[in-house]
Amino acid sequence: MKLMRVGTPGAETPALYDDDDGTIRDLSGVVSDIDGAALAPDTLARLAALDPASLPSMPADIRVGPCVGGVGKVICIGLNYADHAEESGMTVPPEPVIFMKATSSICGPNDTVELPAGSEKSDWEVELGVVIGTRAKSVTVEDAMDHVAGFCVINDLSERAFQLEHQGQWVKGKSADTFGPMGPWMVTRDAVADPSDLSMWLEVNGHRYQDGSTRTMVYDVPFLVSYLSRFMSLQPGDVISTGTPPGVGMGQRPPRYLRDGDVIRLGIAGLGEQRQAVVAT
């Protein structure tokens, strides 16, 4: 099942993508939003039991918003792909590197990416997003997936100078407005056979820079959910961005960073695609 949110920014309507005919179906008569409350197992089961054809259709050209609303926190994992750590000149960490991304960075999958004032080294990162469905606190690896509602595509945009050349934490290089495109859908857990075997890619102006797979993740989804739940409770609607494969702009020789007028396209097998035009502010 593919759940989405469409419409005006800040006033999105919950919707379902009908795979049978490619129609976007209105869920506003069933749930108020695709958020923490809607991600509970009983609510997801009720949505899965619906006949999509019985739901009102929506315009095909309607804006697609971030696939989850009311996100409490976005937790990111750094250097979680062995081949990306190598291109970054960094060693694979003995434990996951954790940092946060401001929820104000979240935007729709096809919204314009705005380079922040003073940006010289804004970069791209296609990532697998994990959406939490039920509260997880100190859960085991074996039980971790019971707390996952689904998966989505995330572009974890990063201003590398802000992230690495200034004092302090990575969060300030990760949190500019529009630096968290999310969607187009959240695909429910039952529809993703193996999150550790998904191809993923990213292009800028038609040139493919990233062409990888979640197979090269150092720490897989069950481990990450369990690990994070030791340090903080994971709440319904929280999102984990699990790291990126090689091919980021920082890793090019010479480095290649985003510029005004660039167009980014990215996707993950089965989870959909995104497209963002880049503008300087």
Per-residue pLDDT tens digits for 224-245: 999 999 999 999 999 999 999 9
| 279 beta partners | 114
Identify whether the C-beta of residue 87 lies closer than 8 Å to the C-beta of residue 251: yes
Greatest alpha-carbon span in the chain: 55
Q: 214 Cβ partners below 8 Å, 6+ apart?
A: 128, 195, 196, 197, 198, 200, 242
> Which pLDDT belongs to residue 48?
97
Over 90: is that where the pLDDT of 83 sits?
no
Q: Determine the average pLDDT of the residues in 165-189.
A: 94
Cis peptide before 184 (omega within 30 of 0): yes
Pairing of strands 207-213, 122-123: unpaired
Identify whether the C-beta of residue 55 lies closer than 8 Å to the C-beta of residue 165: no
Identify whether the C-beta of residue 200 lies closer than 8 Å to the C-beta of residue 246: no
Alpha-helical runs (H) found in 60-178: 82-87, 160, 171-174
Structure confidence at residue 261 as a pLDDT band (50, 70, 90): very high
Q: Determine the average pLDDT of the residues in 55-72.
A: 97
Identify whether the C-beta of residue 181 lies closer than 8 Å to the C-beta of residue 267: no
Q: How far apart are CA 128 and CA 156, in angstroms?
A: 10
Q: Determine the average pLDDT of the residues in 24-43.
A: 97
What is the tens place of the pLDDT at every residue in 88-135?
777 788 999 999 999 999 999 999 999 999 999 999 999 999 999 999
What is the tens place of the pLDDT at every residue in 38-54?
999 999 999 999 999 99
Q: 49 Cβ partners below 8 Å, 6+ apart?
A: none
Q: How far apart are CA 221 and CA 240, in angstroms?
A: 9
The full length of the chain comes to: 281
> Which pLDDT belongs to residue 167?
81
> Which pLDDT belongs to residue 229?
98
Q: Determine the average pLDDT of the residues in 140-168.
A: 95
- The 8 Å CB, 24+ separation contacts for 32-38 are 33/5, 33/69, 33/70, 34/3, 34/4, 34/5, 34/67, 34/68, 34/69, 34/186, 35/68, 35/69, 35/70, 35/236, 35/237, 36/70, 36/72, 36/235, 36/236, 36/237, 37/236, 38/3, 38/14
> Which pLDDT belongs to residue 79?
86
What is the tens place of the pLDDT at every residue in 179-223?
999 999 999 999 999 999 999 999 999 999 999 999 999 999 999
Alpha-helical runs (H) found in 49-156: 82-87
Over 80: is that where the pLDDT of 69 sits?
yes
Q: How far apart are CA 99 and CA 77, in angstroms?
A: 7
CATH number of 74-280: 3.90.850.10
Over 90: is that where the pLDDT of 169 sits?
no
User: What is the CA 112 to chain-centroid distance, rounded?
Assistant: 16
Q: 51 Cβ partners below 8 Å, 6+ apart?
A: none
> Which pLDDT belongs to residue 87?
74
For residue 260, how many other CB atoms are within 10 A of its CB? 11
> Which pLDDT belongs to residue 166?
84
Would the pTM of this model clear 0.75, i.e. be above it?
Answer: yes
100: helix, strand or coil: strand
For the chain, domain boundaries: 2-58, 74-280
> Which pLDDT belongs to residue 186?
98
